[in-house]
Chains A and B, each alone.
Chain A
Amino acid sequence: MKSIAAIANKTLLKAMHDKFFIGVILFFLVVLPSLPVVLYGDGTTEGHLKLYISYSMHFVIFFLSLLTIFMGCASINEELEKKQMFTVITKPVHRWQVVCGHWLGVTLISGLLLIAAGSINYAGVLYILSQHKDTITEEEKTVIEENLLTARAVVTPEQPDTRELIEKELKNYRKEHPDEDIDYDQVVKQIKQNLFYSMYCVPQRHEKLFKFTGLNKVTADTLNIRFKYYSSSKPGDATITARWIFGDPEKVYPVRLLSEKTPEVYHTIKIPASVIDTEGNLSIKFINYDEEYLTVIFPEQNGIEVMYRTHTFTINFLKGYLLIFFQLIVLSALGVMFSSFLSFPVAVIMTLFVYAIGSQAVSVLQILGSVSDSSFTLIELRKEEPLTFFTVAQKILGAFIRLFPQFDKINPVSYLTDGRAIDSKLIAWGLGVLVLLKGACILALGSIIFQKKEIAKVII
């Protein structure tokens, strides 16, 4: 352990004596504090804060990720190039200790810079609040406290098993048309369309019931209902009139509201938490009450959510930075691993490649249909189809991408700009799967490769 600490300490000293590195850090530490002044948003306090939090955190993530990649990729490789490794390997040090020492050193530097960045970032939020102190209205202040500078848990409505529903419909269709030569794709497409219409579309004077469960842990007095919908055509008065009934009238005293909200943007309705029944369930009935013949369409995902406060913005902010740290830990492991057998530029390219894939992994998996988050992703149905080159390639690519660290899954920016709580499950996933499993595997791989490597360069 002392050897690892010694190598890590040497890495720190190297960074402290590297003029280029210090120059880059100074640039970073000058640019970051200037962001609250440079970014102004739409002129409102909320807009200013949202823009600042979003840009500054993206900047921190991008900058520190690149810096960590460069430091990691220059670590072992540089010592091999300069043959300093000769004097280290000939000491009583295991090669895995050399790999871990460099990783620890790079991670420590990244961690220290992240602490500095986080402090500056948080001070920036306080600075913006103080700048708007004299002009901000009470109403605006409340909105910011409830929607932005908070940490709210998000509950989405129960989703029926669409796969089951489609299969059921398909069987019924086959029963009804036993002699017909079924065009499989066409029928499924039609069933999907019908299902989508019944699940997410609300014609005029029709209603839609959303059911939420698992709300027993709510301690807040109020709930925020966040929703967005589209309309089949543009409403004449730009708004859609709707009736809302929050709470099951048979179990609780419901709250009834009439809303006139524009389509295509998110709106929030604040209601008392008393509408949740004793079992932690909440029913929300939406009735399309518009005078025009419009159909309201809720998006498949995030159409309607119940949000309630769980902890403070500060704790959420710290959690967000912890998630960034997890990313940096894995990136430094990747950089060090590649630097154990590749030259610096090739190691950087390889690490950037993994970083780029990892930053889009969840989205790519969704596109490939490997993630069944979407209710209308019917990957299982395709099992009935014969295997084609495309389906095989899709599965292989999906499995390959799953091996990559999924950095986009732990990106905290949208959580903080939406005031959504970063829940412990995500932290546990980041620590367990990303750091302890994938990070450790990357380091182990680097150690094995380095163990097999001849340290002395051979020129034939």
Chain B
Amino acid sequence: MSQPDNAVIRTKDLTKIFKDFWGRPRVKAVDNLTLEITKGEVFGLLGPNGSGKSTTLKMLLGLLFPTGGKIAILGKPVSNVAIKQRIGFLPEESYLYGYLTAQETLEFYGKLFDIPAKERKKRTDKLLDMVGLGRVGQRPVREFSKGMTRRLGLAQALINDPDLIFLDEPTSGLDPIGTRQIKDLIIELKNNGKTILLCSHLLADVEDVCDRIAILYGGKIKVCGKVGDLLKKHDALYVNLPQLKQSTIDAIKKIISDSENNAKITVEHPTDRLENFFLKIVQQAVDDKEETSGADVIRQDKSSAQSKADKPADPQINKEIIKKLLNKKD
């Protein structure tokens, strides 16, 4: 379980009541929320619309002020500007400046972090390459598709090599390749010791990358725990076998039926995930060097495009991305 000394985000009885023009309380968006997120974990904040997850995220970032309760980010109050040196934030719709080019955008955010010019340039180039926008760095953001804007949004969130990253719907607007890349990146950032707080409606994405989740409803935490523990079905088993002869299947069925008092057994072929299937097709097109006007597709090993549920991401790919992000030398 979480250790108090390791807590990167800690809220206690966090409450937010929205008031109307006359100061009368109208909506209790967050209700006595107590939460602790430890260093190095990917934490998913889930909930239906109006459940209070966005409000919570905005309070954690200082964009909204709590009505009650306490927040500590990296051990400091959220009003402390210095802690923002170690924070990255990708809002739900990127909200970038259309008149700036991708390069200028990252330069601008780099300047806000007071990163020296040389280092800024290096990081800008590497991040643009990493998110597949290296070729369009001089194009104004207003000409970008939603997916490209999202990628640039992610790059700006990582410009300062943050320890704590807030990602609000990071895969919205992205194609399956982009979604896969973002998910891979989240796993790599986690492997590198970063803490990530993820808000998303796309439950499959959350399931793929999060260590722990909290489900909010009516501003309160309904459930919080490790993804594996919460999803495990304790009253059924899944056995993965190679293709068997029909006679062997029948024999196994009989043995189980005899010993387990007529337990219900289903036998069928496993199906691939649509995401993996799609990526295989695209990978084929990339290998065939077919032209595209979209963002660059980072070539990856087959293994890295598979979901975490099927197999952990390839450690070789992980290292490459980490190196790009952190500007490390071999």
Contacts and interface: CB of A to CB of B under 8 A. Distances in A.
Nearest to B110: A6
A6 B106 CA distance: 12
Contacts of B18: 458, 460
A456 B95 contact: no
A195 B165 CA distance: 80
**Most A C-beta atoms less than 10 A away, residue of B89, B108, B109:** B108
A343 interface: no
A90 B61 contact: yes
Contacts of B96: 84, 87
B99 A87 contact: no
A90 B95 contact: no
Interface in A401-460: 454-456, 458, 460
Contact of B81 (A18, A83, A93): A93
A87 B168 CA distance: 12
Contacts of B85: 92
Given A3-B111, A93-B81, A87 B63 contact: no
A84 B95 CA distance: 5
A428 B27 CA distance: 53
Interface stretch (A9-17, A135-143, A212-220, A289-297): A9-17
B278 interface: no
Interface residues of B, number: 35
B63 A86 contact: yes
B26 interface: yes
Interface in B47-100: 58, 61-65, 81-82, 84-85, 87, 89, 91, 93, 95-97, 99-100
Contacts of A93: 81, 84, 112
B63 A89 contact: yes
Contacts of A311: none
Which secondary structure dominates chain B's binding surface? mixed
A5 B85 CA distance: 18
A83 B58 contact: no
B89 A86 contact: yes
Given A83-B93, A91-B84, A13 B99 contact: yes
A92 B113 CA distance: 6
Interface string B124-162: 000000000000000010000000000001001000100
Given A2-B111, A93-B81, A460 B104 contact: no
A: contact size bracket: 20 to 34
B114 interface: yes
**Most B C-beta atoms less than 10 A away, residue of A10, A89, A94:** A10
A429 B27 CA distance: 51
Interface in B16-59: 18, 20, 26-27, 58
A13 B107 CA distance: 13
Nearest to A16: B99
B63 A456 contact: yes
Contact of B26 (A17, A89, A94, A460): A460
Contacts of A5: 111
A77 to B, nearest CB: 15
Contact of A90 (B87, B108, B153): B87
Contacts of B93: 83
A87 to B, nearest CB: 6
Contacts of B166: 90
B137 to A, nearest CB: 16
A357 interface: no
Contacts of B109: 87, 91
Contacts of B108: 6, 9-10
Given A89-B62, A92-B85, A460-B20, A82 B95 contact: yes
Given A90-B63, A458-B18, A83 B104 contact: no
Contacts of B20: 460
Interface string B297-322: 00000000000000000000000000
Interface in A1-40: 2-3, 5-7, 9-10, 13-14, 17-18
A22 to B, nearest CB: 12
Contacts of A458: 18, 64
Contacts of B113: 91-92
Given A90-B62, A94-B81, A460-B27, A13 B104 contact: yes
A455 B89 CA distance: 15
A84 B140 CA distance: 16
A271 interface: no
Contacts of A6: 108, 111-112
B112 A456 contact: no
**Most A C-beta atoms less than 10 A away, residue of B62, B85, B96:** B62
Contacts of A17: 99, 140
Contact of B91 (A14, A87, A92): A87
A66 interface: no
A88 interface: yes
A90 B94 CA distance: 13
Nearest to A101: B112
Interface in A75-107: 82-84, 86-94
B159 to A, nearest CB: 9
A456 to B, nearest CB: 4
Contacts of A2: 111, 114
B77 to A, nearest CB: 14
A24 B156 CA distance: 33
15 contacts: A3-B114, A13-B104, A14-B97, A14-B99, A17-B99, A83-B95, A86-B91, A87-B89, A87-B109, A88-B112, A90-B84, A92-B84, A456-B58, A458-B18, A460-B20
Given A3-B111, A90-B63, A456-B63, 5 more contacts: A2-B111, A18-B99, A84-B95, A90-B84, A460-B18
Interface of A: 2-3, 5-7, 9-10, 13-14, 17-18, 82-84, 86-94, 454-456, 458, 460
The list of the 6 closest CB pairs from A to B, nearest first, reads A6-B111, A17-B99, A91-B112, A92-B84, A456-B63, A90-B89
